């Protein structure tokens, strides 16, 4: 197999998985698939559950599956159920602590996501928010890279990061983007307040709209010749600065 995701193949198995509420990272449909009732139901269920659908060449599905019995449909199953933003807010409330979240604007490398989840668990961060499209989900490689942290860190998956930031801000959470063009050093941010640390994707960084939605942008000093840190390191520095301010 060419993927680290558990695979569900075939129209009826995918339909039943969607009906049953099984966590699904993505549905792949053959680009030449006819809109038969089963395909229409898969599209409707995916839309209702906000599961991304991607059209691919049928030969890609042939290579992806062992017996080529996919019938033009394959689903990537998640290793864990996702939660909603309201669930994250409830978790912070139950702990009696000011919210602390890490929002990821398009992390594509499963090892980076796994490392961020590991740091989130170790630092007591209440949850992580990821993007559903053009970003890695909770795959087997992510679970392994997290060293088991995926089992303990709540992960919310949203279709629009900027809208998620707006929703959290309405709940009183401050959004702090980590960006090399930030006008304040990251260790000068008051992380004792309800905070969402926003980290951009590998190479691309934060999108312009996400930057606009942030309350402020903070930078991590770079004293050498390298222009930026690995995203998982940047996230770790920010999360542990929050720990330092809140604990000591």
Query: Which two three-digit tokens encode residue 165?
Result: 């930031």
Tell me the CA distances in angstroms from 1 to 114, 129, 240, one per residue in order.
Answer: 21, 28, 38
| pTM for the whole structure | 0.83
Distance of alpha carbon 103 from alpha carbon 84, whole angstroms: 13
Query: Which two three-digit tokens encode residue 13?
Result: 């198995």
Q: What is the pLDDT of residue 2?
A: 36
User: What CA dihedral angle connects 241, 169, 158 and 232, to 10 degrees?
Assistant: -10
Q: Which domains does the chain have, with CATH numbers?
A: 7-77 (3.30.1330.30), 85-247 (3.40.1280.10)
Listed as ranges, residues in the chain with pLDDT below 70 are: 1-5, 66-68
The DSSP 8-state label assigned to residue 27 in this structure reads E
Query: Which two three-digit tokens encode residue 205?
Result: 């960084």
Furthest C-alpha separation in the chain: 61
Q: What is the pLDDT of residue 1?
A: 33
- Contact call for residues 81 and 13 (beta carbons, < 8 A): no
Q: What is the pLDDT of residue 67?
A: 64
Q: What is the pLDDT of residue 221?
A: 92
For the segment 1-11, what is each residue's pLDDT rounded down to a tens digit?
Answer: 334 567 888 89
Q: What is the pLDDT of residue 203?
A: 83
Query: Which two three-digit tokens encode residue 65?
Result: 């599956």
Distance of alpha carbon 136 from alpha carbon 113, whole angstroms: 8
User: Residue 174 belongs to what H/E stretch?
Assistant: strand 174-178
Q: What is the pLDDT of residue 93?
A: 96
What radius of gyration, in Å, describes the C-alpha atoms of the chain?
19
SS3 at position 202: coil
Nearest C-alpha neighbor of 176 from the set 142, 146, 200: 200
């Amino acid at each position: 197999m060419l993927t680290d995701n558990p695979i569900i193949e075939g129209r009826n198995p995918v339909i039943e998985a969607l009906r049953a509420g099984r966590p699904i990272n993505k549905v792949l449909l053959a680009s030449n698939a006819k809109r038969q009732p089963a395909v229409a139901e898969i599209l409707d269920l995916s839309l209702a559950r906000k599961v991304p659908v991607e059209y691919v060449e049928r030969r890609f599905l042939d290579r992806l599956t062992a017996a080529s019995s996919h019938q033009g449909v394959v689903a990537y199953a998640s290793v864990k159920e996702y939660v909603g933003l309201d669930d994250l807010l409830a978790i912070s409330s139950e702990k009696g602590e000011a919210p602390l979240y890490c929002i990821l604007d398009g992390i594509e490398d499963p090892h980076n996501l796994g490392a961020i989840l590991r740091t989130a668990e170790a630092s007591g961060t209440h949850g992580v928010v990821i993007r559903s499209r053009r970003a890695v989900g909770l795959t087997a490689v992510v679970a392994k890279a997290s060293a088991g942290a995926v089992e303990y860190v709540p992960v919310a998956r949203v279709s629009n990061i900027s809208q998620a930031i707006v929703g959290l801000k309405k709940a009183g959470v401050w959004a702090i983007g980590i960006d090399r063009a930030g006008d304040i050093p990251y260790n000068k941010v008051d992380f004792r307040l309800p905070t969402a640390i926003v980290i951009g994707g590998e190479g691309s960084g934060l999108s312009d709209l996400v930057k606009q939605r942030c309350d402020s942008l903070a930078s991590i000093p770079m004293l050498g010749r390298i222009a930026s840190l690995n995203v998982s390191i940047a996230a770790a520095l920010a999360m542990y600065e929050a720990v330092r301010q809140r604990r000591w």
